[in-house]
């Protein structure tokens, strides 16, 4: 009986553990993924093939870079576009540059795999 209960416990815990792994691998919100795909398609063409390639690209980036680091790098890039004296920190700070470099490396790897 104990063995049966233990097995039942493992069976019930399996989906929870799998869900946890899935959540860890898919920590990018759907809206963030969609924004990336839309921007990618604007740049590369609005066809079904580009939809697949752009979706592949954000999936690869997500597998390399946690969402928090992706968001930080995107924020730095956004602040760089604003310009002005107050935003000069985002142009030259080593920490900001490292964030952007990590994103660029992930994007380059995704481009190799998906395009």
Residue 76 lies in a domain: yes
Decide if 65 contacts 28 (C-beta within 8 A): no
Spatial separation of the C-alpha atoms in residues 66 and 35, rounded to whole Å? 17
- Stronger pLDDT, 25 or 81, i.e. the higher one: 81
Residue 6 lies in a domain: no
Range of the structural domain that residue 50 is part of: 28-114
CA angle 96, 98, 79 (to 5 degrees): 25
Indicate the pTM of the whole model: 0.74
Residue 48 lies in a domain: yes
Spatial separation of the C-alpha atoms in residues 101 and 46, rounded to whole Å? 27
Q: What is the pLDDT of residue 82?
A: 82
91 pLDDT tier (thresholds 50, 70, 90): low
Read off the pLDDT of each residue in 64-85 and give the average, rounded to a whole number: 90
Tally of structural domains, the chain:
1
Average pLDDT, the chain: 83
Residue 22 lies in a domain: no
Residue 72 lies in a domain: yes
Residue 14 lies in a domain: no
Q: What is the pLDDT of residue 49?
A: 98
Residue 90 lies in a domain: yes
Read off the pLDDT of each residue in 52-71 and give the average, rounded to a whole number: 98
Q: Tell me: the pLDDT tens digits for 19-58? A: 555 556 679 999 999 999 999 999 999 999 999 999 999 9
Whether 7 has a pLDDT exceeding 50, the answer reads no
Whether 2 has a pLDDT exceeding 50, the answer reads no
Q: What is the pLDDT of residue 75?
A: 92
Residue 11 lies in a domain: no
Number of C-alpha atoms within 13 angstroms, CB side, residue 8?
5
- Stronger pLDDT, 82 or 3, i.e. the higher one: 82
């Amino acid at each position: 009986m104990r063995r049966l209960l233990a097995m039942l416990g493992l069976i019930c815990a399996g989906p929870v553990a799998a869900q946890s792994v899935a959540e860890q691998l898919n920590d990018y919100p759907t809206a963030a993924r969609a924004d990336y795909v839309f921007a990618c398609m604007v740049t590369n063409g609005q066809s079904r093939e580009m939809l697949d390639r752009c979706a592949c690209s954000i999936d690869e980036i997500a597998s390399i870079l946690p969402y928090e680091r992706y968001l930080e790098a995107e924020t730095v890039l956004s602040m760089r576009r604003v310009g002005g004296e107050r935003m000069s920190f985002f142009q030259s700070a080593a920490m900001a540059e490292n964030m952007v470099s990590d994103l660029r490396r992930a994007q380059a790897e995704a481009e190799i795999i998906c395009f």
